[in-house]
Amino acid sequence: MKKRLLALVMSFALLFCWGTQAAFAAEPAAACCTVASCDPADYENGEVLVLYRDGTCAVETYGEEELSAALEAFAARDDILLVQPNYSYENDAISVNDTYAGLQWALSNDGSFTLSASGIPYTASPELSASGVGSFALSAAGASSSAVAGIDVGAEEAWSLFGEGKRDVVIALIDTGADVSHADLSGSLWVNADEIPGNGIDDDGNGYIDDVNGWNFYHGSSVLYTGTEDNHGTHGLGAIAASANNGVGVAGLVRGSHIKVMVLKVLGGEKGTGATSSVIEAIRYAQANGASICNLSFGGSQHDPALYAAMAASPMLFVAAAGNEGTNNDVLPSYPASYNLTNLISVANLSFDGTLHATSNTGPVSVDLAAPGTYILSTITGSRYAYMTGTSMAAPMVTAAAAMVYSYFDAASLSAVRQILLSTAEPLDSLKGLTATGGMLDLAAALREGGALAGSSGSSAPQLTVQPVTSGGVSYVKVQASDPNGDLVRVAYSAGTLSLTEFRDASAGTAVTLAADGTALIPWPGAGAYSFCVLDAAGNATVVYVKL
């Protein structure tokens, strides 16, 4: 499916109310809803996504002759907040047609992983096969670089630090379905304890019958595995949580029994596509059923205001694949990864040699960090295993890491988890100017050094908010800080990603002088990634990373 390229919209997305322009962030007039597009050609298959003011949504389908009149009628209704196309999304995997030696270099890279054009047979597991998921192809000859030792997430040290974890965490995998019967995925799934499997009754009254491990929003059923079209989600599930130390297959990144994965199928068919309405329903289901971290390994070029609103209003932390076009997301955005949200991490695809894969999207402002995503060995359907390459493979690494950090630091907020992962990313010269942090995921460092930031969610920690504002036609950054003990000693900011340790040096960053009400207006410093820090006399601190 050919994706439509729309203009990048950052903090203030301009939409169209019938005949007039209106800001999406603003409450529309009572007699007029917001219509994202008045052009019938934008409504593929005549599908119109209607978002009501009570938070519910519906998809209506119209013929070519009816559509214009329907849009005009919707625009006049005061019970509707937004009308837009039911956009289509596709997964962000690159198919791999060759089988290679089975090393999970992403977890521990000793430099021995190599690729050759002829291929190396995988001898440890005869079930290993190549996957046909996705719209891209990767040739072995074009990826013949040698591995570099240490280009990994530091799994061995991380597992030692993590132990069994502390807090229960549910991950929502919003993707294709998954082969939940795969032997290597036993024990990794979230279980709805209030639902009795297979009795055909909605036991918990949540509107979904037999939703034991999640829900299939693509087909509207509890069946999470429908065949090989679910390879993509099965691969992501295994990368996150495949059973370890069971003598077979592969090991997922997460450890212990505290972290479980909820499978929410929104993508399907030969090309692995899905619609806005399904994704929004899946987000709402995840929130209602206890998920705190959400993996989104799909993307599209269209700005989708309904999806943006659902993510912005969600308490969950989202991890999104940056995309596989080999382009700069700051210039040609890929959604949802390019949304400027404080509860979102955008992930690029790091290869085993420490460079970004040629197909990975970049973005010194809009892409946060890189994670292993090239030739990742994981589970696929039919109790098999396969390598896949793409930002779809990189995102689950960060999702798993976020869940482990959230479980390990059981007093931390999800906002703090995001800050921990970004501030402990390991800098690589090869990533400078390509991502906001210029670094790769380092789970070991996050668990080893994240304690100070994790404490920012405590009752004694100072609070800090940062937001762009416009006054008198001039752009500023508004900073607001407060402290429960009233003993703030320093607020500062810096371009790039500074750690809390660096900010404790009084010479680091630019000092911010607060007014009596705890606010300050900083002249617009220019677009880019920035770090803001507030410290109190007791040594408590909060660091916030923003993209302006």
Q: Which residues are catalytic?
A: 175, 232, 392
Closest CA relative to residue 50, chosen from 281, 277, 273: 277
Secondary structure element (H or E) that encloses residue 321, with its range: strand 317-321
- The C-alpha R_g of the chain, in whole angstroms, comes to 23
Q: Indicate the residue type of 450.
A: G
* In 430-473, beta strands by DSSP E: 439-440, 463-471
Long-range contact list for 324-328, CB < 8 A, 24+ apart?
324/92, 324/93, 324/94, 324/136, 324/349, 324/359, 324/360, 324/361, 324/390, 324/391, 324/392, 325/359, 325/361, 326/358, 326/359, 326/360, 326/361, 327/361, 327/362, 328/361, 328/362, 328/363
| Range 428-467 burial, b when 16+ CB lie within 10 A, else e | bebbeebbbbbbbbbbbbbbebbebbbbbbeeebbebebe
Sheet of 298-299: strands edge to edge?
273-275, 88-91, 298-299
Instruction: Give the DSSP letter of residue 12.
Output: S
What CA–CA distance (Å, rounded) separates 91 from 523?
40
Q: Indicate the residue type of 416.
A: A
What CA–CA distance (Å, rounded) separates 377 from 381?
13
Pairing of strands 369-372, 317-321: unpaired
Residue 316 near residue 286, CB atoms below 8 Å: yes
For the chain, give the number of residues. Answer: 548
Closest CA relative to residue 541, chosen from 445, 421, 426, 458: 458
